[in-house]
Each structure stands twice: as C-alpha cells, then as structure tokens.
Amino acid sequence: MAQAAIELIGINKSFGAVRANRDINLEIVRGTIHGIVGENGAGKSTLMSILYGFYQADSGEIRVGGQPASIKTPNDAIALGIGMVHQHFMLVDNFTVLENVILGAESDALLKKSIAKARSELERLEREYGLEVDPDAIIEELPVGLQQRVEILKALYRGAEILILDEPTGVLTPAEADHLFRILKQLKEQGKTIVLITHKLREIMAITDTVSVMRQGTMVATRETKKTTVEELAELMVGRRVLLRVEKGEAEAGGVKLAVKNLTVKDSRGVTMVDDISFDVRAGEIVGIAGVAGNGQSEMLEAISGIRRAVSGSVMLDGKPIDLTGAADPGELRDRGLAHVPEDRHHVGLVLAFEENENSILGYHDHPRYLRGPFLNIDAIRNDARDRIAKYDIRPADCRLKTANFSGGNQQKIVLAREMEQDPGVLIVGQPTRGVDVGAIEFIHKRLIAMRDQGKAVLVVSVELDEIRSLSDRILVMFAGRIVGERGPDATEGELGLLMAGVEQREAAE
Amino acid sequence: MDLFNAVIQVLDSTIRLSVPLLLACLAGLYSERAGIFDIGLEGKMLVGAFAGAAAASVFHSAYLGLGMAILISVAFALIHGFASITHRGNQIVSGVAINFIAAGSTIMLGQAWFQQGGRTPALASDERFGAIIWPGADALRGVPILGPIYSELISGHSVLVYVAFLAVPFTWWVLFRTRFGLRMRAVGENPAAVDTAGISVAWLRYRALICTGVLTGIAGAYLSMVQNGGFVKDMTAGKGYIALAALIFAKWKPVNAMFACLLFGFLDALSIRLQGTPLPVIGKVPVQLMQALPYILTVILLAGFIGKAIPPRAGGVPYVKER
C-alpha cells in the first residue's frame, strides 16, 4: 500500500448550531489526485480550510506524512508542505505576479533581494511545470486562468508537496479547465499530491485516481475512480436516487409572447457580448439558452429585462417594444407581465438584511393590495408571505426571519415565489438552480413546468446542461455572443456540448 | 527686490505651515494603506500637542516633551486599533470618538493641572525646539537670490521640520522597498490574501497604526512646541481633516503627499499674507475663500477632474474570516 500523505481522523467542526463536519475520516495517498465531491454546504470547503489551518477543528487528529500535526494557522500548513488554491483567489489585484508570489514568503526584509531571489526560482518553477506567466504583469490585467496559475505558483514557491484546489474550474472556460487538468497531471507525475474539491462529477471522472463523497457534513464513501460511475456518485452525494429529468408532457405552444430581433449588447468595456441574436418565446413553452458562462447570456438577460442598454435590435413584449436604452422602468415591465428572476439573487434579487416578508413584495410594494393609504399594509404582506412559504415549501417557515439566514435554495425559492405569484405572461429566469440543493432543484423545475402548462412563456438561461435538457421544449445554444444552434429537447449531450464549445465555427476543440 | 523678499517670506511660512499637515498626512497614509480609515488624526495631533507642551513645561525638556507627545498619540492610535481591528468596530465612529475625547480631555486636564483656562504654561526657549542655523547661513545672507533662499528657506527651521521632510523619502522607501511595506500595502488591498499567506492581519495593522501614532505625535509636538510656545485649546483647528484631504489629493502616495501639503500650506500662507491687501484686478480676496480652497480642490479632485483617486480597496472594512 502506498504511503499516506494526509490522514484525517475523527474531525469535527461546528459553526454555532450547524455541524459542518462530523467525524470525518479520510486518507489521501501520496502522489495521487484525490477528488472530494459533495453538494454545496456538504462541508468540503470547511474540511479543507481545517487542513490549511484557516479554521480549527473542534476535535480530531491530522497526520501529515504519518506524523501527527498541529495546524493552527496557514503558516503551520505551509511549513508542512500544504498549499491551497482558494475558490476566490487570494491575490492582491494591483500587485505584480512576483509581489503576490513572495507575499508572506519574503526571504529578506528588503524587497530587492527577495524579488531577485524569487524571480529565478519562479522561472525555474514555470519551466518545470509549464506554468508560464509574466512575473511583472499586474494581477488585475491577467485573465482568470492566469490568475489561478499565479495561485498555484504561490503554493509551489512555498514548497508545497500537497496542493488543495477548491472548485478550481468554476471560473474557467473549458479550454482553461483542460489546461489546468494537464498541469495537475504533470504535477502528479512530479510526485505532488493533489486534492481536488468540486461538485462537478465529470471532472472527477476525468482526472482523479480516488474520490471521496461528502454529504451533510459526513464522509459517506471513498471509491477508486475507475470502479465507480457518475450515477453512483450522484446517488451517494444526494443520498437517494436522483431524478435528473422531471416528467413533463408535450408543449402546446401558442402565440409569440416575447420576440427578440437582432439584439446586440456591449459590456462596460465596449466589448460586444451579444452579437445580433434573434429568437421568439411562445406562450406555453420553455425556451432554454445553453452555453458556457460568459458567452453573453448574462448581458442578454439584462438587456431583455431592461437593466442594460442594448446597442441595437428590438425586443417586443406582446407585440409592443421594450425600452432598450437601459432606462426602462422595471415597474412598468412588471405591469406589462414580464417577471424576471435575476441570475445573481444576492445582488439583484434580494435585500439580504430584510425580513423574508419584505423581500417577498420587493418591486410589488406599491401594489394596492399591499397598501393602506400611504402606508404599507403589513398584515396583507405577511399573510401573503405565509401563503407562499407554505406553497413553495420555504424553510424555515418564518416570514419574519432575516433573508440572509435562509439557505441558498430557499432564498432562490423566495425570489421565484415572488415573481411567479404575480401571474406574469412572460417569465425570464437566470440560473434557476444555482447553488440550490438537488431536492429543491426538482421542486423548482416542477414549478417552472407548471407555469408552462398554464400557458406562460418561459425563458430559462442556465450553464447547467442537464437542467436545460430537462426543462426546455426548445434549446438555443449561445457561443461568443451568438446563437449557434437550435435543438429539440431530445438533443444529445455530446451534440450540445460541441455547439457550446463553438466547434461548428472553429477547428475541433479537443 | 521687495517682491522677491515677499515671495521668500510667503515660501518660508509655506514650509512652516505645511509641516504639521505633512506629518499628519503621512500618518494617515500608514493607516489607510493598511486598510484602516483614520478620521482621528485631528484628535491624535491634539493630544500629542497637549502632552508635549505639558511634559516639556513640567520636565523642562523639549525632548521629553516630544517623547511624551509620541507616547500619548500612539496610545490613542492603539485605542483606535483596539476598537476597529480587535473588535471590528466602525472605523469612522471610533475616529470621531477619539476626536471628541481629545478635544474635551485636553482642556479639562489642562485646566486641572495648570489653571490657565485650558492652556499649558508658556514654554521657555530651552523647552521648545529652536531653529537650527545651517553653517554659513548668516554669512551668505547678503548674496543675492541664493543667499535668502539658503538662509531663510533651507536653514533656520526647527529639527522637526527636517524630520517631517525626511519622513517623505523614508516613508516611500518603507512602503515600496521593504517587506513590511509590501505586506502593509497588501493588507490594505486584500487582507484575506495576507491571512492565507500566513501573516497576522491584526498585528500588521496594529504596527501600521503605531507608525501613525508616532507621526501624529510629532505633528502635535510641532504645533505646541515649535509653532506656538505652549498648548492652546483646539489648536489643531481642522489640520487633521485637511491632512486627510491632502492624502486623497495625493492618491495615497508619499511624494505626492508632500506636494499636496506644500500646496495647502502655500494657500494658507498666501491667505495670511493677502489679508486685507487688495490685489490688482480682483480686489480684496476674502480670507474665508482662501481657507476653503484646500477643501474645494479636494472636492474637484474627487469629482474626477484631476484623474481618479482610488483608495486602498479594503479600507474601512474590518477583516472577518469568511465562512
């Protein structure tokens, strides 16, 4: 049996009443890539933060290379050869690559000497591992893929033998992710041990040697990757057989409710993000927009819902145009029957410091039903909020609770309930189940299909291909700001994947 | 020649008036670069001024006075740190509280100790920092142009003036050439990066605040022991706020800070010089307008006319480990 690089024995950690980790045992073999999968909130990141000394375990033992180790601060972890690449990069944006790499590991009190030393060391590391990046570039001017490379270099510069990566591909394009995997394989060949935290099962199957599954703070299984399947891992993650597809009947599409014509949108830097796209959404159908994040979906959603200025094109709602100058009155659009569930519920959809019932009427607060003269009709608001909590199974069932205290899935339900209950003619939903647990995903999908069956026009944008395939009656694929193809709900994953990678337009991506 | 002498005089008082601004501005630079907003510069200068003058008059020593000024000022900086770093309090509230405590306690203790209406006793010349006459200053006074520049502008200031101007390159060097400076700038931009690199965010910020305290202490000592022969209530008269304006004006850079403070000092000197003197074409310029100029300039700058002033990104936000 190969030697263990890390052993975790009986790790427990609680945050207040939440038990993030219970009695975790884990052994990571030296020189392997070990995946840790689990849903959001399963305790993966907490466990790794304990290993990196960012948090202290309430009880349990850590052994590094067979020796019991006391890891109280990141410094202890670094000294033991543990490096971590965080999900949100720990970089100083206006520093150079070199300055970021030496921060905290300066060899000398004067920078000149430290930098000179680091420069040659960095060049050696870059050559050895194929991690080229300009040492004098400013971080904020680098694309995310390169920023992540700097994080890896930071760990290697500190002599990391064990590298923990927390959701490393969340921010990467598929090409960047492929490059990252090549780097990880190379690191493994050089004898490094890699721990990969993710919730994407495909990545696990592609790159890991061993995979451990976490669920609700416990470690439920460890498997050899070769001997397991995506289906088995999904079941282990959720704890029951997962209905990846929701039952639904044939769509009965009616007249056009939302018509987008030749829409072109630029982002704040003047880059064309949406490039001359046209499509219709009819009553009684769900149109799904698939695509890798960052291919213009967000900008398109914002333009259609009147938040972002469009450069040209038109959007017709029930045959009448929507103001695309970016100065549209969202209240007026709501009155016209356009409901919008934004992609980023924290920033755009909710005021987290408000109580649940206050959020449940945001944007509809001047509806006569919620007013009593110039004042809010608190009773009516709370009664409605309680009804929705029951109908949408929002937990905890307390409309006076601060919204920040609800889980991500329940926050999403609050927004969905608010928008759906207004009985809109057109519902636009961005990332309906981002950060939502599998149980709630099923529920949200069922509600969306119920909306469709009532004859509403539904537009769904999601980066989760499974979701798009499960929900949509028609699938449009966006790539580089354009719609590169339209498919039916029976399109295969491979077919859509190729479209999403822009293969029809470019040489083969692989 | 009259005009030349007038210019020399205005420039000379520009230097004298800029010094407390410059010291306070550099003080603010240390704390704000480390991510701690410090609206309490004013208060720390005031307690420094009081402690310096009080100690100098009791112990009959200028240097003991300076030491006490620095000590008390650092103590107040640490109170700010205790509230805003250790207890993650609101930095603005803590700073304002320090200003109020300083304004009240100096008058109260002054009255209790010296019974002169909140003043400290007038300092004798050996209890103050006197002018340092550079070699040959008197001999060269007669030389046209260069003579007065050397003997009036360069020579003949107190040691604290030279300290203030030497603090500029020193601060630059610390900030951009040392490990401490790199870490301090990092903690003001992204404390999480510093934390995960294995450096204590709190200790780093405390050290930055100690630097702030030392500099505001010197600034206070300058006010009560050089510019004035003793402490007078509220003698900082808003200089801490002008220093903050200068800091923004200087975009948090040491050399810029020096020029910003010289500019503000110059406006101040000019307003004193022009008091009641009618100018050709414009006529009499109201003193109040001249005194408001630093603030007006800062507002114009903030509105984006002189380029963008981007403060340290983590400024004002207490560091909490993310869950």
List the domains of chain A with CATH numbers. Answer: 4-238 (3.40.50.300), 256-500 (3.40.50.300)
State whether residue A140 sits within 8 Å of chain B by CB.
no
CB contact under 8 A, B178 and A73: no
Of B68 and A365, more confident = B68
Pairing of strands A210-215, A457-461: unpaired
Cα-Cα end-to-end distance for chain B: 70
Q: The tokens of B218 are what?
A: 């010197």
Q: Minimal Cα–Cα distance from A91 to chain B, Å?
A: 6
Task: Give the chain A residue whose CA is nearest to the CA of B181.
Answer: A111
- At residue A509, the pLDDT reads 39
In a domain, B198, yes or no: yes
CB contact under 8 A, B190 and A91: yes
The residue among A50, A248, A260, A83 whose CA lies nearest residue A162 is A83
Q: What is the pLDDT of residues B131-169, one digit of tens each?
A: 888 888 888 888 888 888 888 888 889 999 999 999 999
In a domain, B138, yes or no: no
In a domain, B145, yes or no: no
Residue of A103, A154, A167 to mutate for B, most B C-beta atoms under 10 A: A103
Of B226 and A87, more confident = B226
In a domain, B143, yes or no: no
Q: What is the pLDDT of residues A374-431, one digit of tens each?
A: 899 999 999 999 999 998 888 788 899 888 888 777 888 899 999 988 889 999 999 8
Which of B179, B197, B313 minimises the CB distance to A111? B179
- At residue A507, the pLDDT reads 42
In a domain, B140, yes or no: no
Q: What are the φ/ψ torsions at residue A233 (nearest 5 degrees)?
A: -65, -40
CB contact under 8 A, B193 and A91: yes
CB within 8 Å of chain B, chain A residues 81-100: 84, 86, 88, 90-95, 99-100
Residue of B190, B308, B322 to mutate for A, most A C-beta atoms under 10 A: B190
CB contact under 8 A, A90 and B192: yes
Which of B177, B185, B195 minimises the CB distance to A74? B195
CB contact under 8 A, B183 and A78: no
pLDDT reading at A119 higher than 70: yes
Which of A84, A103, A112 minimises the CB distance to B193? A103
Q: Minimal Cα–Cα distance from A70 to chain B, Å?
A: 15
Q: Minimal Cα–Cα distance from B236 to chain A, Å?
A: 35
In a domain, B322, yes or no: no
Cis previous bond, B294, omega within 30: no
CB contact under 8 A, A54 and B321: yes
Q: The tokens of B220 are what?
A: 């206070």
In a domain, B312, yes or no: no
The residue among B24, B284, B60 whose CA lies nearest residue B171 is B24
Give the residue-averaged pLDDT of A257-273: 88
Query: What is the domain range of residue B91?
Result: 19-128+158-302
CATH number for the domain including B180? 1.10.3470
State whether residue A15 sits within 8 Å of chain B by CB.
yes
- At residue A2, the pLDDT reads 64
In a domain, B89, yes or no: yes
**Geometric angle at alpha carbon B223, from B219 and B225, rounded to 5°:** 105
Residue A164 pLDDT level (bands cut at 50, 70, 90): very high
- At residue B43, the pLDDT reads 97
HEC letters along A423-463: CCCEEEEECCCCCCCHHHHHHHHHHHHHHHHCCCEEEEECC
**Which ipTM was obtained for this model?**
0.88
Q: Count up the domains in chain B and report the number.
A: 1
Which of A78, A86, A93 minimises the CB distance to B198? A78
pTM over 0.90: no
Number of residues that this document lists for chain B: 323
* Distance separating alpha carbons of residues A200 and A223, to the nearest angstrom: 16
Identity of the amino acid at A92: V
Residue A27 pLDDT level (bands cut at 50, 70, 90): very high
Q: What is the pLDDT of residues B11-66, one digit of tens each?
A: 999 999 999 999 999 999 999 999 999 999 999 999 999 999 999 999 999 999 99
Average pLDDT along chain A: 87
CB contact under 8 A, A110 and B313: no
HEC letters along A144-210: HHHHHHHHHHHHHHCCCCEEEEECCCCCCCHHHHHHHHHHHHHHHHCCCEEEEEECCHHHHHHHCCE
Contacts of B199 in chain A (CB under 8 A): 103-104
CB contact under 8 A, B190 and A104: no
- At residue A370, the pLDDT reads 92
- At residue B53, the pLDDT reads 96
